[in-house]
């Protein structure tokens, strides 16, 4: 048994209220160990004096697996031209920026000190492919949120005013069948409405085919997850994404679950007013105020950063609307059987474009105006707002007012004057960044084994040089440990390990399967037994259990 000592680093561990204290940490058998008793031999020691120590980072919303990513890869050969990782003894070849290959994704995340990543839009009908793809992504642990809320089966249940218990059983069955850790809803009822020629669907507007409103869908799904004891609240991509003036809908959405926990993802895209000459303005202050006042709501931002990327979303309705802005000019929008939809649109965000520049400012306003760092996650909705490798730049924008103000000078002048950003003095501390990127997402997701440096936690640890240039600091950690193994040094990969898939398996009444089997036989191209993924499909790659089941609340 190896015992590793990390000596004298400044530790930021918000889950344990540790704010920059100098401490020693010990790693034993892949876990963080309490102070070892009785003359144990230390097999390796790292001198971390002057360095910053945090748990491994967790990305709660990053599109890293599934059909839409493969469409994006196929559609953007340019994206894969000038960023090759050549095969070495250590790595496999890989490439890509906005839609990188699986290997590149795993290597780059590990090199930045991220050790767990969640794919937020896993289509149950495509779960097998998405999990195989994520299983091919090295180093990081991963998990998925199963998409519901536009599927024919649920909408029928709600149309027929079925008992909530049946909804609960269906949600639980979906989590089991798709091997996911949470449920996501994208444009509730709207993806379905698009199939019936709907081009918008507001919170209280009935779906044209089922007569069910988005509000009803949100209430049914938030209630189901609470009843089932699933720790992670419903992950909501709301109505009217990207539409100027969507602030009213978002404010209504914040109230929709009536006190039941709900997470609003990429809130930046849902915080738009319709004021000014161009009928586009920031509503970040109103949304932040509502979130501050509504304790059952959490959010992540979906910050945009300037440059080329590709947007990949289940929201076919908004992607159809966006296709006019495709750059380069190619795009895909498709329906997916009775399940959902999908749209892929390449995008280039420009600092001299008024709308893009204001979107950038709105995202930063959200970060700086939501007061409680435990209730906001650091995301760019990779690759939709920006590529995940731009996180270090985003962290610098949050931590360094001087840098932020200088960046604000570079953007479209009207966007600058229409944003409140220059008047906001807040600078995030390292402790708060550790909450946003580690402790917060771990607690929200119900991942009890990480996001903290407690004895017994996974030894997923990132060590940074304490550089006043926070972008440089967060881009190239001095050391990254995954399950206690050193996987990167000075921002370069040194070892490849394989992570596990994180799931929940709430109890439910299997009686639902009779109804589901009949439904599959009647309407779908796949049989129910082929649809569901078994535990044995998560092959052990020799690095221990590849499926980690997290507890549900009683």
* Interface residue list for Zn ion (CB under 5 A): 381
Residue 96 or 302: the one with the smaller Cβ distance to Zn ion is 302
End-to-end CA distance of the chain: 36
Closest CB 492 distance from Zn ion, rounded Å: 29
Residues 464 and 51: their CA atoms lie apart, in Å, by: 6
Counts for the chain of helices (H) and strands (E), in that order: 19, 24
Which tokens is 295 given?
């304790």
H or E element that contains 23: strand 18-28
Comparison of 381 and 460: residue with beta carbon closer to Zn ion: 381
Rounded to the nearest whole angstrom, what is the least distance from the CB of residue 20 to Zn ion in the complex?
33
Minimum distance of Zn ion from residue 313's CB (angstroms)? 6
**273 and 287 Cβ atoms separated by less than 8 Å:** no
As measured in angstroms, the least distance from the Cβ of 378 to Zn ion is: 14
Q: Phi first, then psi: what are they for 376, rounded to 5°? A: -140, 135
Residues contacting residue 170 through CB under 8 Å, at least 6 positions apart: 153, 154, 157, 224, 512, 516
Which is nearest to 502 in space by CA: 59, 281, 179?
179
Q: What is the three-class DSSP state of 461?
A: strand
DSSP H or E run through 441: helix 440-445
d(Cα 267, Cα 235) in Å, to the nearest integer? 11
The CA distances from residue 35 to 63, 448, 454, in Å, are 39, 21, 11
Cα 464 to Cα 476: distance, rounded to the nearest angstrom: 7
Q: CB neighbours (10 Å) of residue 86?
A: 9
With CB atoms as reference, the residue minimizing the distance to Zn ion is 381
- In the complex with Zn ion, the residue whose CB is nearer, 79 or 381, is 381
Least Å distance, CB 384 to Zn ion, is 6
Pick the closer one to Zn ion by CB: 212 or 297. 297
Is 122 or 140 the residue whose CB approaches Zn ion more closely? 122
**Structure tokens given for 315:** 């929201």
Rounded CA-CA distance 245/154 in Å is 29
Nearer to Zn ion, 13 or 381 (CB): 381
Query: Which of 33, 318 has the CB closer to Zn ion?
Result: 318
Which residue's CB is nearer to Zn ion, number 268 or number 282?
A: 268
Smallest separation, CB 356 to Zn ion (Å) = 18
């Amino acid at each position: 048994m190896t015992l590793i000592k990390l000596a004298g680093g400044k530790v930021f561990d918000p889950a344990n209220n540790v704010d920059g204290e100098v401490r020693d940490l010990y790693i034993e058998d892949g876990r963080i160990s309490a102070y070892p008793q009785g003359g144990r031999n230390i097999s390796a020691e790292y001198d971390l004096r002057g360095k910053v120590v945090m748990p491994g980072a967790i990305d709660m919303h990053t599109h890293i697996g599934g059909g839409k990513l493969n469409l994006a890869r196929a559609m953007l050969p340019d994206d894969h031209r000038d960023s090759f990782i050549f095969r070495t003894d250590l790595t496999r070849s890989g490439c890509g920026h906005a839609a990188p290959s699986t290997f590149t994704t795993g290597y780059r995340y590990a090199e930045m000190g991220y050790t767990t990543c969640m794919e937020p839009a896993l289509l149950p009908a495509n779960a097998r492919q998405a999990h195989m793809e994520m299983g091919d992504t090295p180093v990081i642990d991963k998990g998925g949120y199963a998409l519901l809320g536009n599927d024919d089966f649920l909408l029928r249940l709600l149309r027929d005013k079925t008992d909530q218990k049946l909804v609960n059983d269906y949600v639980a069955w979906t989590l089991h069948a798709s091997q996911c850790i949470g449920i996501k809803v994208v444009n509730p009822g709207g993806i379905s409405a698009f199939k019936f020629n709907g081009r918008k669907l507001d919170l209280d507007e009935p779906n044209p085919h089922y007569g069910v409103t988005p509000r009803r869908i949100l209430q049914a799904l938030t209630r189901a997850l609470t009843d089932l004891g699933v720790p992670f609240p419903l992950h909501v991509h709301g109505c009217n994404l990207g539409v100027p003036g969507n602030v009213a809908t978002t404010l209504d959405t914040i109230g929709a679950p009536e006190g039941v926990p709900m997470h609003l993802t990429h809130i930046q895209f849902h915080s738009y007013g319709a004021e000014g000459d161009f009928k586009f303005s920031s509503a970040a202050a109103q949304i932040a105020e509502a979130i501050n006042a509504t304790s059952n709501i959490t959010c992540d931002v979906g910050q945009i950063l300037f440059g080329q990327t590709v947007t990949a979303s289940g929201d076919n309705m908004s992607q159809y609307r966006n296709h006019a802005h495709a750059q380069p000019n190619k795009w895909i929008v498709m329906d997916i059987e009775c399940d959902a939809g999908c749209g892929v649109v390449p995008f280039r965000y420009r600092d001299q474009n008024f709308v893009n520049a204001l979107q950038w400012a709105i995202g930063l306003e959200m970060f700086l105006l939501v007061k409680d760092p435990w209730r906001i996650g650091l995301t760019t909705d990779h690759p939709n707002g920006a590529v995940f490798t731009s996180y270090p730049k985003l962290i610098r924008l949050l931590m360094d007012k001087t840098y932020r103000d200088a960046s604000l000078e570079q953007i479209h002048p009207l966007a600058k004057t229409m944003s409140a950003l220059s008047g906001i003095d807040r600078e995030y501390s390292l402790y708060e960044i550790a909450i946003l990127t580690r402790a917060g997402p771990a607690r929200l997701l119900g991942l009890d084994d990480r996001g903290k440096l407690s004895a017994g936690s996974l030894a997923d640890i990132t060590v940074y040089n304490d550089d006043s240039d926070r972008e440089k600091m967060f881009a190239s950690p001095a050391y990254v440990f995954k399950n206690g193994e050193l996987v990167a040094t000075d921002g370069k990969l040194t070892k490849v390990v394989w992570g596990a898939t994180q799931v929940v398996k709430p109890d439910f009444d299997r009686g639902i399967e009779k109804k589901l089997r009949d439904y599959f036989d009647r309407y779908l191209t796949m049989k129910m037994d082929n649809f569901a993924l078994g535990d044995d499909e998560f092959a052990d790659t020799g690095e221990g259990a590849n499926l980690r089941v997290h507890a549900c609340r009683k």
